[in-house]
Every structure is written in structure tokens, then in C-alpha cells.
């Protein structure tokens, strides 16, 4: 394999702030292995993608069998696995229709296009969407304007239709309703992940649902990171018995193969008519077969419940140990989406984590974002807590 050296610089565009000096050779369950055979506990899952762990035998077999038979045809033809996966998602979520694409950003693009179609029906020619400060919905030109300052900076002008309000602030949405006549939708994450695992008030999603109903707006819920069991329900909104009009998914749906899905119901369904949207790769036989294997495994192995139980356990144990340190400002989480907030910038923790064989990511400079696989046992959870304590001790110079 060719690697960048002093004389052969990388040919990759440097879009990431930093890259840790490590490459992995294989993965098995909760573990990743480097070239020397050192193992690392994967508390990140490729940012909530490999939620069933690495090389899961059922997913691997489904992918290999399907790849040997048929990888890709075209949405010009029928794709039975796509139909079955859509039926399954609809049943689990309470939504009605699915559009498959290749990423979270694309799923949100589809959601915005649906809201534009909805606006046409209402004879609104300059539709606006309420989005949240510090939100994250992807990096394509359509959605980048809906994101936090750091993500959107430098890419102006954006779609002209985002009305930005503070997160977890229902009054701000209500006052936007008074200020703007052209709003057609609210787009929101049930928990803000990229900006540091911010969990809103329990009444937040229900409140947004009510405001949307009152004004005939679409509620677009971005469950790209929270969905598919991560927070201890199939979809985070199910903690609050809220059904959005549009729900977007991606990340873990096909076990690591690229996939996105935009689900719609009620007044948001049937907005896309033939010719209004499409994709070459989206929903091909390979990804949909993988997606079905993922959903079946989550169901069969009761992993959504496991995420809830293990999430509660990890947070409790972290609070009893790390939480005692004055430098830790907060430990929060729902299911296995967990944030540990320091009182100071802590990016260096990631390199220290490598030393101790523990993987996680730092969000918003001060928050460890922990997204372990949904398959973890209590012994794995104890190991995560133990390693995180070692990492934090070294960072904070406790001897």
C-alpha cells in the first residue's frame, strides 16, 4: 500500500482537521486491530456506523452472498430487496414511504426537496425552513447552510431559506412563526451529536410537533445519528411518542456500506412524482440486502433494548468514577449516545486514547463523544469505563 512520505505527499485533499497516525487492518466485534496486532476497543463505530461491531458474521455473509450474485442494477428495474427493506423501515417507524440514497446529507437534501414540493402545493414561492443553531445535517450545498457556523463558513451564499433559531427553544420557533409567513418546515436533530451530544428537554420534540401541526408545517427529524437503536429505541422520537412528517436515516443502516433513507408520511408523502428525484446507486441490491441483515439482527438479538440497558449502565459507571473529577463538567447520554464534557479543550485525549487502546472522538473541542457498538456486554462496558478513566487520568496528569 502506498502511503504519504516526506517525498511523496498525500494526494488526498486535506478536508479533516487532523488524522490520527494509525490505520487499522481488521476488525472483529468491538475490537479493531492495527498492523502490529495491537487491539483497540472501538467506542466510536466509525461515528455510529458499525453499530453491530466489525465483521459481524450475519452481515458479512449477507454482503458476500449478495455480492457474488448481484451488486447493482438500476432503479429503472424492480429491486425486491429495496421493497422489503422499505416495508420493514415503514413498519418499524410508523412512516409510510421511503426514498433510498447514499448518505445522510443526501437524505436531508431529499427532505428539503420534499418541503419545496409541499410549498408549491401551498402556493408559497419562497419557502423557508426553521433550522437550529449548532445543528449538523451534512455538507452538500443544499444542507450546509442548515449547519453550525464552522461547517457552513466560507460556502455562502446558501439556499436562501433557512431561519436559524437556538436549539431546545420552543419559544424561538413560535416567534419565528410570527415573524415569517413563508415557513414550511422545521428541521431538527433529536439529540445534537456533532456539536457535543446536546440532549433537549423532554417536551421539545412534542412541542415542535404541535407547532408544526398548528401552522401546517412539515416536521423533518434528522435521525441519521440517533436512529436505528442507538439511543435505546428504534428511533429517538419513539421515546416521546412523536411521529415526524419526514425522518432521515443513514450511517448504520447498511452496516458500513453507504446508504441513506428519507422516510415520509401523511402530507409529506407522494410529494416526489416521477422525474422529480433519483439516484444511480441509491437502494441497490447489495446495500438493501445488507440493510435487511442489519435490521433483522438488531431485532433478533434484542440490541435496541441492549443499547438502552448498556447505555444506562455506562453513564452510571462513568458518573461514579470520571464524574468525581472537578475537570468533568457533565456526563450525559441516551442509550449508547454519550457525551463527557471537560472544562477545557481536550482534543489530545484521542491520541492518549490510542495509547490505552480506546477509540472515541472529540466534539466541539471539549466533549468526548462515545458511540460504542450496540452489541456490548456488561464486561465490555466495564472495560470502556476503565480505559476512559486511564485516558482521562493521563490527560489530567493524575498519578
What is the contact surface with ligand PLP in residues (CB under 6 A)?
47, 103-105, 108, 136-138, 189, 193-194, 222, 224-225, 250
* Cβ contact 142:109 at 8 Å: yes
Decide if 251 is catalytic: yes
Specify the pairing of strand 162-165 against strand 24-28.
unpaired
Q: How far is the CB of 153 from ligand PLP (least distance, A)?
A: 17
* CA distances (Å), origin 22, targets 104, 327, 354, 374: 26, 28, 9, 24
Q: What does the block give as the cell for 177?
A: 412563526
For residue 355, report the phi and psi dihedrals to the nearest 5 degrees.
Answer: -55, -40
CB atoms within 10 A of CB 46: 16
Residue that has been written with the C-alpha cell 472537578 in this structure? 326
Residue of this chain nearest to ligand PLP (CB atom): 104
Q: Which of 310, 314, 292 is nearest to 376 (CA)?
A: 310
Q: Which is nearer to ligand PLP, 198 or 317 (CB)?
A: 198
Q: Which is nearer to ligand PLP, 249 or 340 (CB)?
A: 249
Decide if 305 is catalytic: no
Q: How far is the CB of 114 from ligand PLP (least distance, A)?
A: 16
Catalytic pick from 251, 272, 317, 342? 251
* CA distances (Å), origin 191, targets 9, 107, 252, 274, 333: 39, 18, 17, 34, 9
Q: Which is nearer to ligand PLP, 189 or 380 (CB)?
A: 189
Q: Which is nearer to ligand PLP, 47 or 390 (CB)?
A: 47
* CA distances (Å), origin 124, targets 118, 119, 128, 179, 207: 9, 5, 9, 16, 24
Q: Which is nearer to ligand PLP, 97 or 140 (CB)?
A: 140
Distance of alpha carbon 224 from alpha carbon 279, whole angstroms: 19
Q: Would you call 335 exposed, middle or buried from its count of C-beta atoms within 10 A (0-12, 13-18, 19+)?
A: buried
Catalytic pick from 118, 136, 162, 342? 136
Q: How far is the CB of 394 from ligand PLP (least distance, A)?
A: 28
Q: How far is the CB of 16 from ligand PLP (least distance, A)?
A: 13
Distance of alpha carbon 138 from alpha carbon 288, whole angstroms: 22
In three-state secondary structure terms, 341 is: strand
Q: Which is nearer to ligand PLP, 146 or 292 (CB)?
A: 146
Decide if 222 is catalytic: yes
Q: How far is the CB of 388 from ligand PLP (least distance, A)?
A: 22
Q: Which is nearer to ligand PLP, 139 or 319 (CB)?
A: 139
Distance of alpha carbon 278 from alpha carbon 267, whole angstroms: 20
Q: How far is the CB of 46 from ligand PLP (least distance, A)?
A: 10
Residue that has been written with the C-alpha cell 414511504 in this structure? 97
Q: How far is the CB of 354 from ligand PLP (least distance, A)?
A: 22
Catalytic pick from 42, 161, 222, 236? 222
Catalytic residues: 136, 222, 251
Amino acid at each position: 500500500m502506498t502511503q504519504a512520505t516526506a517525498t511523496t505527499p498525500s494526494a488526498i485533499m486535506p478536508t479533516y482537521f487532523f488524522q490520527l497516525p494509525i490505520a487499522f487492518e481488521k476488525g472483529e466485534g468491538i475490537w479493531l486491530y492495527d498492523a502490529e496486532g495491537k487491539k483497540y476497543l472501538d467506542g466510536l463505530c466509525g461515528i455510529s456506523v458499525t453499530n453491530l461491531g466489525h465483521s459481524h458474521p450475519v452481515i458479512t455473509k449477507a454482503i458476500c452472498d449478495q455480492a457474488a450474485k448481484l451488486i447493482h442494477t438500476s432503479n429503472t428495474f424492480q429491486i425486491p430487496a429495496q421493497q422489503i427493506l422499505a416495508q420493514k423501515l415503514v413498519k418499524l417507524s410508523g412512516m409510510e414511504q421511503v426514498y433510498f440514497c447514499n448518505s445522510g446529507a443526501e437524505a436531508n437534501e431529499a427532505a428539503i426537496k420534499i418541503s419545496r414540493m409541499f410549498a408549491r402545493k401551498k402556493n408559497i414561492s419562497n419557502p423557508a425552513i426553521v433550522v437550529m443553531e449548532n445543528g449538523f445535517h451534512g455538507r452538500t450545498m443544499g444542507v450546509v447552510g442548515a449547519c453550525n457556523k464552522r461547517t457552513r463558513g466560507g460556502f455562502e451564499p446558501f439556499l436562501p431559506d433557512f431561519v436559524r433559531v437556538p436549539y431546545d427553544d420552543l419559544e424561538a420557533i413560535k416567534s419565528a412563526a410570527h415573524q415569517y409567513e413563508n415557513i414550511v418546515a422545521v428541521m431538527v436533530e433529536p439529540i445534537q451529536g456533532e456539536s457535543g451530544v446536546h440532549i433537549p428537554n423532554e417536551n421539545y420534540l412534542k412541542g415542535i410537533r404541535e407547532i408544526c401541526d398548528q401552522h401546517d408545517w412539515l416536521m423533518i427529524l434528522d435521525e441519521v445519528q440517533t436512529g436505528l437503536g442507538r439511543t435505546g429505541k428504534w428511533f429517538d422520537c419513539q421515546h416521546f411518542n412523536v411521529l415526524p412528517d419526514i425522518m432521515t436515516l443513514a450511517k448504520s443502516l447498511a452496516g458500513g456500506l453507504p446508504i441513506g433513507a428519507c422516510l415520509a408520511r401523511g402530507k409529506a408523502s407522494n410529494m416526489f412524482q416521477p422525474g422529480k428525484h433519483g439516484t444511480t446507486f441509491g437502494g441497490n441490491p447489495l446495500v438493501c440486502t445488507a440493510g435487511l441483515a442489519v435490521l433483522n439482527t438488531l431485532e433478533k438479538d434484542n440490541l435496541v433494548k441492549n443499547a438502552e440497558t448498556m447505555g444506562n449502565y455506562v453513564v452510571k459507571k462513568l458518573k461514579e468514577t470520571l464524574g468525581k473529577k472537578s475537570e468533568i463538567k457533565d456526563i450525559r447520554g441516551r442509550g449508547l449516545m454519550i457525551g463527557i464534557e471537560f472544562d477545557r479543550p481536550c482534543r489530545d485525549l484521542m491520541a492518549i486514547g490510542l495509547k490505552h487502546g480506546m477509540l472515541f472522538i472529540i466534539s466541539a473541542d471539549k466533549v468526548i463523544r462515545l458511540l460504542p457498538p450496540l452489541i456490548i456486554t456488561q464486561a465490555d462496558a466495564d472495560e470502556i469505563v476503565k480505559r476512559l478513566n486511564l485516558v482521562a487520568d493521563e490527560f489530567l496528569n493524575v498519578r
